Amino acid sequence: MTAMLLPAALVAAAVMLMLAVEDGGGRAEAAIGMQQPLKLKYQYYRRYTSCKYAEEFVKHQVTLYWNRDKTITAKLLRLLYSDCFVTGCDASILLDGPDSEKMAHQNARLGGFDLIDKIKTVMESRCPGVVSCADILNLATRDAVHLAGGPSYPLFTGRRDGMTSRASTVDLPSASISSKAALAYFESKTLDVLDMATLLGAHAIGTTDCSNVVDRLYNFNKTGKPDPTMSKEFADQLRKTCPPPSNMKGQQAKSPWVYLNPDSGPSYQLGNSYYKRALAYQSVLGVDQQLLYNNDTRELTSEYGDESPWKNGFEGWRRSLTLSMNRMGNINVLTGNSTGEIRRSCRYTNQRG
């Protein structure tokens, strides 16, 4: 895939997005007979509900929060991924409970729940019972991405909230997964190689526990050696922050952490340095470095990382993100009156709350 072809790939992906949304609705309509088509809609709240300004309310709250705490963008991106990839974008990640998804070990370091709660409180006072937690999470992430220098993309809405959340359903893969396994995982969630290369760009900001990196530094894939795909200089640097796991035993203190992308670090600004680092064998997570080990994701990484003669990689990524966030936001959504609910509190189903 060359720089010239990227727009064509985007058009194809856009058409697939439409087809997925239309077809999902059509099938469901045929199955249920007289009901309205079940699908997400553009500007659902403004056009089809009494809560005309739902998107504006969300944006206002996200902006207030972001002005105080710029880490919110990385937290929401992670939260949305953890929701959509596990049983679909149904806000199941937001439910409290001793055995809920947020209790799974992969979700130990999630954040951003306080902002979602705040937005829900505002919504319930402005237009009670109308705006779902699943849509709030998707919209808030969109606005936080824009504030951090990403695109402000149109987002289809009309999701309803799921009624169950079980830790045992959480199948989020390890951070050291191979490109082959990562692609199989994305494809199992109806996403493709363009989505994978693009959505991983969310790792341009945020932090991760050393526990997600130490295998690459000391004992990669049980070989007893460092990951051969990591630059030696960079590995030396990371070892200073992340000691071998055996040295950490008995320490009850919080596990050390590193920035997912040392180039953006504390600025929390989205950019294409994430892709440039992958090209220089300086990715922090194994899954990020693996972008170079699949022909399609390597081409996209080189486009996004400005190796094409046009040097418009960040703009290309911003456009792809618009599509891929909608495609991720479309995974197994609950729509229409006959399924799910509009939770009163994002932490509890209405029956329990």
Ligand X SMILES: *[C@@H]1O[C@H](CO)[C@@H](O)[C@H](O)[C@H]1NC(C)=O
What are the residues whose beta carbons fall under 8 Å from the beta carbon of 46, sequence distance 6 or more?
52, 53, 54, 55
Question: Does residue 47 have an active-site annotation?
Answer: no
Task: Please tell me which residue in 27, 46, 47, 78 is annotated as part of the active site.
Answer: 78
* Dist. CA 31–CA 255, nearest whole Å: 51
CB of 224 to ligand X, least distance (A): 13
Is the CB of 37 or the CB of 97 nearer to ligand X?
A: 37
Q: Nearest-CA neighbor of 101 among 190, 164, 175?
A: 164
Find out whether 195 is annotated in a ligand binding site: no
**Alpha carbon of 59 to those of 119, 121, 144: distances in Å?**
9, 14, 8
- Does 178 participate in binding ligand X (rule CB under 6 A)? yes
Find out whether 227 is annotated in a ligand binding site: no
* 44's tokens: 């659902």
What are the residues whose beta carbons fall under 8 Å from the beta carbon of 44, sequence distance 6 or more?
135, 156, 157, 158
Find out whether 88 is annotated in a ligand binding site: yes
**Alpha carbon of 215 to those of 179, 242, 294: distances in Å?**
17, 10, 21
CB of 271 to ligand X, least distance (A): 26
Residue pair 234/282 in contact (Cβ under 8 Å)? The answer is: yes
Find out whether 263 is annotated in a ligand binding site: yes
- Does 2 participate in binding ligand X (rule CB under 6 A)? no
- The residue count for binding ligand X (CB under 6 A) is 8
Please pick, from the candidates 1, 46, 336, 341, the single residue that binds ligand X as defined by CB under 6 A: 336
- Does 67 participate in binding ligand X (rule CB under 6 A)? no
Find out whether 193 is annotated in a ligand binding site: no
Is the CB of 174 or the CB of 190 nearer to ligand X?
A: 174
Helix (H) or strand (E) holding 195: helix 193-199
CB of 284 to ligand X, least distance (A): 15
Residue pair 49/181 in contact (Cβ under 8 Å)? The answer is: no
Please pick, from the candidates 221, 247, 251, 350, the single residue that binds ligand X as defined by CB under 6 A: 221
* Dist. CA 166–CA 164, nearest whole Å: 7
Please pick, from the candidates 337, 350, 352, 353, the single residue that binds ligand X as defined by CB under 6 A: 337
Please pick, from the candidates 206, 286, 313, 340, the single residue that binds ligand X as defined by CB under 6 A: 286
E strands present in the chain: 41-42, 156-157, 207-209, 257-259
* Dist. CA 323–CA 294, nearest whole Å: 21
- Does 295 participate in binding ligand X (rule CB under 6 A)? yes
Is the CB of 112 or the CB of 286 nearer to ligand X?
A: 286
Residue pair 206/71 in contact (Cβ under 8 Å)? The answer is: yes
Taking CB under 6 A as the rule, which mask of x and - marks residues 35-54 in contact with ligand X?
-x------------------
CB of 336 to ligand X, least distance (A): 6
CB of 283 to ligand X, least distance (A): 12
CB of 177 to ligand X, least distance (A): 6
E strands present in 257-313: 257-259
Map tokens 């509900």 to a residue: 49
Is the CB of 227 or the CB of 306 nearer to ligand X?
A: 227
Taking CB under 6 A as the rule, which mask of x and - marks residues 243-282 in contact with ligand X?
----------------------------------------
Find out whether 83 is annotated in a ligand binding site: yes
* 284's tokens: 């922090």
CB-neighbour burial class of residue 85 (10 A; exposed 0-12, middle 13-18, buried 19+): buried
- Does 97 participate in binding ligand X (rule CB under 6 A)? no
Give the residue numbers of the binding site for substrate: 173
Which residues make up the interface to ligand X (CB under 6 A)?
36, 176, 178, 221, 286, 295, 336-337
Give the residue numbers of the binding site for Ca(2+): 83, 86, 88, 90, 92, 101, 263
Which residues are identified as catalytic? 78
